[in-house]
Amino acid sequence: MRHGLAAAWPGAPSLADPSAVETALLRTGYIADRTLATTCYLALTLERPMLLEGEAGVGKTELAKALALALRAPLIRLQCYEGIDVGQALYEWNYPRQLLAIRQAELHGAEPVDLYAAEFLARRPLLRALDPEDGRRSVLLIDELDRADDEFEAFLLELLSDWQVTIPELGPVRTSRPPAVVLTSNRTRELHDALKRRCLFHWMELPTLATELQIVRTRLPGVEPQLARAVAGFVRELRRLDLYKPPGVAETLDWTQALVALGRDRLDPAVVDGTLGSLLKYQEDLAAVREEGVTTLLERPGGPD
C-alpha cells in the first residue's frame, strides 16, 4: 500500500512511513509524537477514519489542519452541535433558488423547471467531501462529535462504513477514494462502540513540559527563550491545581502572544495576574489561582516530567 499512498494525494511529500508523517507534520508547525504519527500513517494507508479524544485544547482540531497542509489537500470542516441533522451536514435543496427558477420560467413561458437538478442542490460538508466537484480528495474534519445526538452518530457510522449516501431525487452517491477523516471528541459523552470500532483511536494527552516548550518555540519562533521556558513552566503548575478547566495548548500560545504584545520578556506577579484571562476562562479557576498565590506558582520550577 505504501506506493499507493503518495499517488492518492498528488503533490504531497512522500509519506512512506510514520517517521515521514511526523516530519511532514513538523514542517507545518505541528509537533506529533511517534504514536500519533503512526496512527495518522495507518489512517491514511488503510483509509480508515481517525478518532481523536482528549480534553479541549490538546491539539485535536489543529492536527486535522496540519494534516491537510501536509497532504496539500483542502480541509472540509463539519462542526457538530446539539440538534445537527443530516440536512445540515450532508445536503439540502435550495428552495429560494428553486422558487426563483419557477417564477422566471413562468415569466418567459419556458418549459417546466426540473426542481431537483444538481444545480439546486446545496452541498454541505459531508457531500462535498464524499463527492468533490473538483475531484480533489480532502481532509474531512468532523469536530466535537460528542456534541451531536445518537441519531446523527448512527447516520455517520453508515456513511463512514459504506462511503455512500442516497439522495432520493438523484440516486446514490458513492466514492471509491474516500477523504482522510478526522473525528474529534472532548468526551462530554461516550461515543458508541460501533463507531469506535470503525475508527483508529488515539487518546491525546496534554503535552509534557519539554514538548510544550517545543510547541511554543515552533509556533512562535520570535519569542525570547527565557519567556518561553517561564510560560511553559507556569502553565504546567496551573495544570497541577484542581481547576475546572486547566489551560490547553491553545491557551498557552494565546498567553504567550499576549505577553509579547505587552513587550514582556519575563514573568512577574503583576503581569501574570493581569493576563490570567488569556489562560483561564472560569471565575472559579481565577479565584483558585489567586488563592494559591501567583508569586508562589512563579517560584516553582515547573517540576519534572
pLDDT tens-place string over residues 165-196:
888 888 888 887 899 999 999 999 999 999 99
Give pTM, 2 decimals. Answer: 0.86
At residue 82 the predicted structure's pLDDT band, cuts being 50, 70 and 90, is very high
- pLDDT value at 1 more than 50: no
Q: Tell the residue number behind the cell numbers 457510522, with chain if given.
A: 157
pLDDT value at position 305? 41
- What is the model's pLDDT at position 134? 83
Name the nearest CA neighbour of 51 among 227, 202, 233, 265. 202
The predicted pLDDT at position 25 comes to: 96
Rounded to the nearest integer, the mean pLDDT of the chain is 90
pLDDT computed for residue 248 by the predictor: 93
pLDDT tens-digit readout, 133-147: 888 899 999 999 999
User: Could you tell me the residue ranges of all domains in the chain?
Assistant: 2-80+138-203, 209-299
Quick one: pLDDT at residue 302?
Answer: 58
What percent of the chain has a predicted confidence (pLDDT) above 90?
67
Predicted confidence band of residue 105 (pLDDT cuts 50, 70, 90): confident
State mean pLDDT over 53-82. 95
Q: Which residues pair with 92 in a beta bridge?
A: 122
Band (pLDDT 50/70/90 cuts) for residue 304 is very low
pLDDT in tens, 283-292: 999 999 999 9
CATH number of 2-80+138-203: 3.40.50.300
